[in-house]
A and B are shown apart, each in its own frame.
Chain A
Amino acid sequence: MSADSIIETRELVRDFRKTRAVDRMTFSVEPGEAVGYIGANGAGKSTTIKMLTGILKPTSGHVRTCGLDPMRRRVEVARRLGVVFGQRSQLWWDLPLRDSFTILGAIHRMDDGSTRARTDLLVEQLEMGPQLGTPVRSLSLGQRMRAEIAAALLHSPELLILDEPTIGLDVLSKQRLREFLVAERHEQGTTLLLTTHDMGDIERLCDRVLVVDHGRLAFDGTLTGLAGTVGAQRILVLDLAGPTPDLCDVPGATLVQSESDGLRQRLSFDSAATTVAAVLAHVSSRHEVRDLTIEEPDIEDVVRRIYAASGRD
């Protein structure tokens, strides 16, 4: 735990009446890290985020965000922080999108020139130009979520906290959002803390995962480590043109199941070891592939396995 951690909690506790929502949570996040914060519903994720952002007072324990006490120095923390609550909008729904950026610029005391320059940059990267004149209430969910993230990044915060940013988005919107976040982090070095139910978000965005269970930290490590602990693997389902012998010799992939004389075969693979493209190239060089789907590991399932592995539940 270094002195300049961007997030630091020690023995953090929050009780609601008789239930303990967060139980002696200790972790720290260093500048530039991208951390996935996962757990079942009600495991304590949102409560932790509320304590990190100064919304909720801890029952006991220690919390520092950007080196500051978020309860006592909320305003200073807010200057250095960007937050997106996936299911709640922070934009002005009854005004054109452009106005939300102008207002937020004023709130963060940016001058007109830098507000405009930063807005232009984010709008270009997120391809939101055509929507600038649209009232926020008329945006699609995917457009609104991109706008929320642009709004949270307007003042170039050191730390970006995203609470379920991809919930309800279609595959393409998710993809664009993730690509943008990867690029943004690459350019600005923004620290990222992300809660999600989507394993894809974690795989593409995070280099470290925290798993929370009943308010306690059940796992803290790399994604590869998580996959190693629970065997969280993706499954490639291949529909082949004709009956095919079992695909046992694909590097990095293991046959899980073969149906109808090998017309449909299911291969599990570890994203850390190989890619869909490599597996597919290997198979299609020998057999004709008609169709494919990818089954992502279910995050609830991953969490359940962690609980099992840690001898709880």
Chain B
Amino acid sequence: MADESLSERLRPYRVLLASRARAQMQYRASFVTDILGTVGVGLAEFAEVWVIFHNVDVLGGLDFTAALLVFALSNLAFSLADMFVGHLDQLPRFIRAGQVDAFYVRPLPLLAQLMTSDLSLRRVGRLAVALVALTVALVTAPIAWSAATVALIVLTVVSGTAIFSALFTAAGGLQFFLVDGSEFTNAFTYGGSYAAQQSQQVFPGPLRIFWTFVAPTAFVAYIPAVAVLGLPGDRLAPHWLAWCTPLAALLAWAIAGLCWRLGTRHYQGAGG
């Protein structure tokens, strides 16, 4: 057992995720409408950026192209995280259905089971909007291309997805003991997504500190984008900080791990 390959160790999760994909394909019509719906969500988010820059040229130190890059990076990371683990913040629904008890009596880690219990393929709609926006932003923005910028952008997408996944995990952990706590945790997940797609300079100081160092969504898009574009940016966030995005992801995951542990210790099972 000890020397079984990684691929063998991951087989249960592969089978679980494949089954989730299969289940969604069984209702093709509703799947297609769902995708159209998430494209709509992505476009609506984009419309907000569009409307603002239709009226002002520069907001929070960003012009339209820079804002588009921030929008694209944050939406890409959020939609990826949302697709893989976005269902974690619906933990009460899983608890009520008795699914969490079923996870406990299966020989796999709880969090891994919960993460692979759903795969929201319909969210590729929002992902597609983000990818188009990212392409447009990268082509039109005045970027001094180098190996470092490419590496920074890739690093940002990976770490950004990890940061949002951590927020969803923390939200899930907290909901073990917050009854109907999704309104509260939404402030961090969806609120974090909203904060991530803004220039940090539009926020007052305390909020900027919060989104940089506590729920570090500033690292998802704004800080790296400013570094990539060579803009002056935020006093709180010098350019070298952009390379700390993986550290921010680690911090987010440390907090998420703590929330999750607290939550599972508190769990009492689903009713009688």
Contacts and interface: CB of A to CB of B under 8 A. Distances in A.
Q: Do A and B bind each other?
A: yes
Interface of A: 16, 41-42, 46, 50, 53-57, 74-76, 78-79, 81, 83, 85, 87-90, 92, 94-95, 99, 102-104, 106-109
B238 interface: no
B26 A94 contact: yes
Given A57-B265, A75-B109, A109 B12 contact: yes
B269 A99 contact: no
A54 B11 CA distance: 24
B5 interface: no
Contacts of A57: 265
Contact of B15 (A42, A94, A102): A102
B147 interface: no
Contact of B105 (A78, A89, A92): A78
B108 A50 contact: no
A42 B97 contact: no
Contacts of A99: 19, 22
Contacts of A107: 12, 15-16, 106-108
B269 A88 contact: no
A90 B272 CA distance: 16
Nearest to A135: B26
B16 A103 contact: yes
A103 B103 CA distance: 13
The number of chain B residues touching the other chain, given as a range, is: 20 to 34
A56 B270 CA distance: 11
A103 B15 contact: yes
A131 B108 CA distance: 28
B105 A16 contact: no
9 contacts: A53-B104, A57-B265, A75-B109, A79-B107, A102-B15, A106-B14, A106-B15, A107-B107, A109-B11
A309 B114 CA distance: 47
A87 B98 contact: yes
B231 interface: no
A305 B26 CA distance: 53
Interface of B: 8, 11-12, 14-16, 19, 22-23, 26, 97-99, 101-102, 104-109, 265, 267-270, 272
B268 A56 contact: yes
Contacts of B101: 50, 55, 85, 88
A53 B101 CA distance: 9
Most chain A CB within 10 A, of B19, B99, B107, B265, is at B107
Given A50-B269, A55-B267, A95-B23, A85 B102 contact: yes
A76 B108 CA distance: 9
B11 A74 contact: no
A106 B23 contact: no
A56 B105 contact: no
A290 to B, nearest CB: 42
B12 A106 contact: yes
A42 B12 CA distance: 36
Given A75-B107, A87-B98, A55 B269 contact: yes
A260 to B, nearest CB: 43
Nearest to A83: B105
B15 A81 contact: no
B23 A75 contact: no
Given A88-B99, A89-B102, A107-B16, 16 more contacts: A42-B272, A50-B101, A55-B267, A75-B107, A78-B107, A79-B107, A81-B105, A83-B105, A85-B101, A87-B98, A88-B97, A90-B102, A95-B22, A99-B19, A107-B15, A108-B106
Most chain B CB within 10 A, of A41, A76, A107, is at A107
Contact of A16 (B16, B26, B267, B268): B268
Given A75-B109, A103-B16, A55 B104 contact: yes
